[in-house]
């Protein structure tokens, strides 16, 4: 089922709010953080946050927190862990917004990677709950998801990455995707898939080399 969620917040009347819509339905996500006008607005918002503008910070939170929370929830099975990490992500963003380098990443890439890193660090903590469900290498479930509907400028990059992932053997592609989405270690991938550790390492490392070469073609 596909439905549209209009995110509206009482406190912030802002151009981003007014135009902001996220459609959520299964794996479909359309968001404006990746359209060229969205990137530009987000960049301006982030620059304002770096100057200590707390209204801009709220705008940033309202327009990006659902995406970042989704990223954290995939890595951390325990919801309260994901909530704590999300809090940590935004307090870091408030303090480090001036470290954002537009030459290196789009604003949403920068934010998502902060969320991923903090979520993975949390997942590595001894007290955290971890994904333990078996990885069935015969079922390439994730890859049967329909392509994301998007107005994004980054559609091309996505298609290229999908194309390059498509050149990998299905079992290796599945391990790469599970590693990325869940932040699983080599050890976890090996025990969950039943593939020997050395083979998992070799597959992933070869796949990374292939991906890099393919994307740079």
Partner 1 sequence: MPPEPFEPGDTAGEYVLGVLDAGERRAAAERIASDRAFASEVSAWERRLFPLTSVIASVAPPAYVWARIRAALGHDRASPARAAPASPWQRVNVWRWISAGALALAAASMVALFVGRRAPVAPTQPAPLVAIMALDNGAPAFVATIDGAQGTLVITPVTAWPDAQHVPELWLIPAGDKPHSLGVVDAAKPITVTVPVDLRSAIDPASIVAVSVEPPGGSPTGQPTGAIFAKGGISGI
Question: Quick one: 37 or 54, whose CB is closer to partner 1?
Answer: 54
Instruction: Give the DSSP per-residue string, 40-54.
Output: HHHHHHHHHHHTT-H
Position among 139, 169, 205, 213 found at the interface with partner 1 (CB under 8 A): 205
Contact characters 25-54, partner 1, x per CB under 8 A:
-xx-x-x--x----------------xxxx
Asked whether 81 and 7 are in contact (CB, 8 A), the reply is: no
Enter the tokens of residue 52.
């200590």
Footprint on residues 178-197 left by partner 1 (CB under 8 A): 179-187, 189
Our CA dihedral for 149, 72, 52, 58, rounded to 10 degrees, sits at 60
DSSP single-letter state for residue 155: H
Footprint on residues 161-180 left by partner 1 (CB under 8 A): 161-162, 176-177, 179-180
Footprint on residues 96-115 left by partner 1 (CB under 8 A): 98, 104-105, 109, 112-113
Question: Quick one: 117 or 191, whose CB is closer to partner 1?
Answer: 117
Asked whether 192 and 133 are in contact (CB, 8 A), the reply is: yes
- Minimum separation from the CB atom of position 87 to partner 1 (A): 5
Position among 39, 154, 173, 192 found at the interface with partner 1 (CB under 8 A): 154
- Asked if 12 is part of the footprint of partner 1 (rule: CB under 8 A), the reply reads no
How far the first Cα of the chain sits from its last, in Å, is 38
Beta bridge partners of 24: 3, 29
Footprint on residues 49-78 left by partner 1 (CB under 8 A): 51-55, 57-58, 61, 65-67, 69-71, 73-75
Question: Quick one: 41 or 175, whose CB is closer to partner 1?
Answer: 175
What is the spatial distance between Cα 36 and Cα 59, in angstroms, rounded to a whole number? 18
Number of residues in the chain:
217
Position among 11, 102, 139, 213 found at the interface with partner 1 (CB under 8 A): 11
What is the spatial distance between Cα 45 and Cα 93, in angstroms, rounded to a whole number? 12
- Minimum separation from the CB atom of position 15 to partner 1 (A): 19
Q: Name residue, tokens 């918002």.
A: 45
Question: Quick one: 15 or 124, whose CB is closer to partner 1?
Answer: 124
Give the residue from 94, 40, 37, 36 showing the smallest Cα distance to 65. Answer: 94
Total binding residues for partner 1 by CB under 8 A?
Answer: 83
């Amino acid at each position: 089922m596909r439905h549209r969620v209009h995110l509206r917040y009482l406190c912030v009347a802002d151009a981003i709010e007014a135009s902001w819509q996220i459609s959520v339905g299964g794996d479909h996500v359309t968001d404006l953080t990746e359209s060229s006008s969205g990137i530009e607005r987000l960049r301006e918002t982030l620059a304002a946050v770096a100057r200590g503008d707390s209204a801009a910070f709220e705008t940033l939170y309202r327009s990006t927190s659902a995406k970042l929370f989704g990223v954290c929830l995939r890595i951390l099975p325990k919801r309260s862990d994901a909530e704590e990490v999300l809090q940590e992500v935004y307090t870091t963003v408030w303090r480090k917004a001036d470290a954002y380098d537009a030459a290196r990443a789009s604003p949403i890439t920068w934010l998502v990677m902060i969320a991923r890193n903090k979520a993975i660090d949390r997942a590595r903590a001894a007290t955290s709950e971890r994904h333990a469900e078996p990885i069935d290498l015969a079922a390439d479930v994730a890859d049967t998801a329909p392509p994301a509907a998007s107005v994004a400028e980054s559609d091309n990059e996505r298609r290229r990455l999908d194309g390059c992932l498509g050149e990998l053997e299905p079992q290796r592609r599945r391990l790469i995707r599970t590693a990325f989405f869940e932040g699983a270690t080599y050890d976890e991938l090996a025990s969950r898939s039943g593939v020997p550790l050395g083979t998992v390492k070799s597959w992933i490392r070869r796949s990374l080399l292939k991906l890099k070469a393919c994307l740079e073609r």
